[in-house]
Amino acid sequence: MSCEIIIRRAREGDAVQRAELIQMGLLSYQWDSFIYFLFQELTLECVLLGSAVLFIFCGAAPAGCALLLPAAAALVAAAVAVAHRALASAHAQRMRGEMFGLVAEARGPLRLGAPPGPVPIYTELQHCPPTQHDVHSKVVGTLSVSAYRAPGELALDHEVGWLHALAVHTQWQCRGTYDRRLVGAALTLQLARLGLDLPHA
């Protein structure tokens, strides 16, 4: 049995899966954020100045001063983890006040994973082909639409909104590939399409 994706309005029962998707999406950037903040000039300056103060004024051994770098790395890792979990919680709270939400629900066999080929996508309003077997479903994408509010003001209009809490499960993110001919048909290079066209690719 093949699988299909249905785009539909979110229901109350989808709240847990949607919150997990958002948290998973934010946590996927945790390593990049850790590296970014660890190698910031301010972090490295604090480690260097702290080591100098310990060595000069406290008489600490050089090996003890070198332990400041792993301590700073642990502090940065903890701060990044706490910040990402707080962001995920804030997004989950904002979903409660949304005008409406959309989910992409994958339906298919019990061991539901992203298939290698294209997957048919239907909206809730379209006619979906009937299924003959028991169907397992899983929310693989979510999006929230909330009323637009200017800072410190009430909601402006029901026709004006903003998108937030967009998340797609990592197994279902479609990046796509295409071939670039380098030397005629003899040598081709597989390139990944990352959502924007590369000018020389």
CA distance 135 to 107: 6
- The 8-class DSSP code of residue 158 comes to T
Residue 60, classed as helix, strand or coil, is coil
Say if 168 falls within a structural domain.
Answer: yes
Asked if 22 contacts 167 with a C-beta cutoff of 8 angstroms, the reply is yes
Say if 188 falls within a structural domain.
Answer: no
More confident residue, 80 or 123: 80
Asked if 161 contacts 146 with a C-beta cutoff of 8 angstroms, the reply is yes
Say if 185 falls within a structural domain.
Answer: no
Say if 177 falls within a structural domain.
Answer: no
How much is the pLDDT for 72? 94
pTM of the model: 0.64
Give me the domain span that covers residue 149. Answer: 4-172
* pLDDT of 191 over the 60 cut: no
What 3 state SS string does 35-72 have? HHHHCCHHHHHHHHHHHHHHHHCCCCCHHHHHCHHHHH
Alpha carbon separation from 60 to 38, 63, 74 (Å, rounded): 24, 8, 21
The tens digit of pLDDT for each residue in 81-114 reads 999 889 888 888 888 778 888 888 888 776 666 6
Tell me the mean pLDDT in the region 119-145. 71
What's the total number of domains in the chain?
1
How much is the pLDDT for 182? 52
CA distance 105 to 123: 10
How much is the pLDDT for 197? 44
* pLDDT of 77 over the 90 cut: yes
CA distance 13 to 190: 41
How much is the pLDDT for 196? 42
Length of the chain equals 201
Say if 18 falls within a structural domain.
Answer: yes
CA distance 11 to 14: 5
The tens digit of pLDDT for each residue in 18-54 reads 888 888 888 888 888 899 999 988 899 999 999 999 9
The dihedral sign for the CA sequence 52, 58, 64, 68: negative
Say if 179 falls within a structural domain.
Answer: no
